Structure 1
Amino acid sequence: MDSNGQYEQRIVWTVIDTGIGPLLLAATRDGLVNVVFHATGAVRRKALERLAARLGTEPVEAPGSPLLTEAIRQMEAYFAGRRRDFDLPLDWSLISGFNREVLRELVSGVRYGSVVGYGDLAGRVGQPGAAQAVGTAMGANPLPVVVPCHRVVGSDGGIGGFGGGVDTKRQLLALEGVLPEPLF
């Protein structure tokens, strides 16, 4: 506890190797709070600085923390094709409003091996004209892979954008059987 009798926020983190490259996993006492693609060198440092600024405390590397241990186990099973859903507590404190609403609908309503259009997802949250805002929400997703923004595609059949890069999105969709394995 701090001097005011409040429990201090604690952020623990680790980096794991996956089939799509290194992922930074960060958690608070409330749940997994951030997943970051391509988490080496400057990308990792910038992500940790951003977390410290947003949550008001310095992240601590702690791969053995219970929540991170479970997150690693579930990630490894997902990338090995043995897990379709994540069952982890999530800390939504890095996202709010419409973006949070869209991401919660994505988690609950778009299952493994399926995709949804940006406009369709907007309609599911009662904003049928907000396809572009859904794209913005996907780009702001602090929990990619676990909150499966890779499952959101263009209504014209295009793959759409992706914070981890279009190649990463293709790999995730191939893993889930939505796309054929990339040839190269």
Structure 2
Amino acid sequence: METAYIKTPLGIAAITGDENGISEISVLDEGTVSVEIPIVLQEAVLQLNDYFEKKRTHFDFKLNPKGTEFQQKVWKTLLEIPYGKTRSYLEQSKILGDVKAIRAVASANGKNPLWIVVPCHRVIGTNGSLTGYAGGLWRKKWLLEHENPTTQQSLF
């Protein structure tokens, strides 16, 4: 496994992966930026930089997240949420076929190892409120505003 650290508007992104794909992307409040980027991580770094520069709305590098079968299923449905759109935890549960699984869905979202790429930040409360986000609600708000196709004063 290789790891690279890049500067983003939201902190230092730690990107970990190998020839089988990227297994983890997380955000840190501080850290040292990598001088050299391992070859197996270069495409992910390029695409993340493009995302922050508003040159990219989806990612197509190889993913290899580790998680339970249920978590993998939840993360796959997150990939279906279009850029600039949101979905509620209840809607996610319905898509997965069990409206009562809302807490399990929220828990799986919280364990998403691929920050931004698997867009758990696009899941909000049924009433439209921002709810839990492992990276902090201020980052979730920033990401949703970054992806918002229309310029507004503030979404939340």
Identical amino acids, percent of aligned pairs: 31
Q: 1:168 aligns with which of 102, 122, 139?
A: 139
CA deviations on 1:96-144 (whole Å, 9 max, x unpaired) are 221110101111x201000000010111111221111111011100111
Query: Computing the radius of gyration over CA atoms, which structure comes out larger, 1 or 2?
Result: 1
**TM-score of the superposed pair, with normalisation by structure 2:** 0.90
Residues 105 and 62 from structure 1, CA distance in 2 versus in 1: closer, same or farther, beyond 3 angstroms?
farther
Aligned length: 153
Runs of 4+ in 1 over 6 A off after TM superposition: none
CA contact (8 A) 1:171 1:181 kept: no
Q: 1:16 aligns with which of 6, 20, 32?
A: 6
**TM-score of the superposed pair, with normalisation by structure 1:** 0.77
CA deviations on 1:144-172 (whole Å, 9 max, x unpaired) are 10000000000011111100000000010
The amino acid that maps onto 2:131 is G
For residue 103 of structure 1, what is the aligned residue in structure 2?
A: 75
Q: How many angstroms apart in 2 are the aligned matches of 1:24 and 1:180?
A: 30
In the TM superposition, what are the counterparts of 1:31-180 in structure 2 within 5 Å?
31-38=21-28, 40=30, 63-92=36-65, 94-107=66-79, 109-177=80-148, 180=152
CA contact (8 A) 1:12 1:62 kept: no
Q: How many angstroms apart in 2 are the aligned matches of 1:16 and 1:182?
A: 27
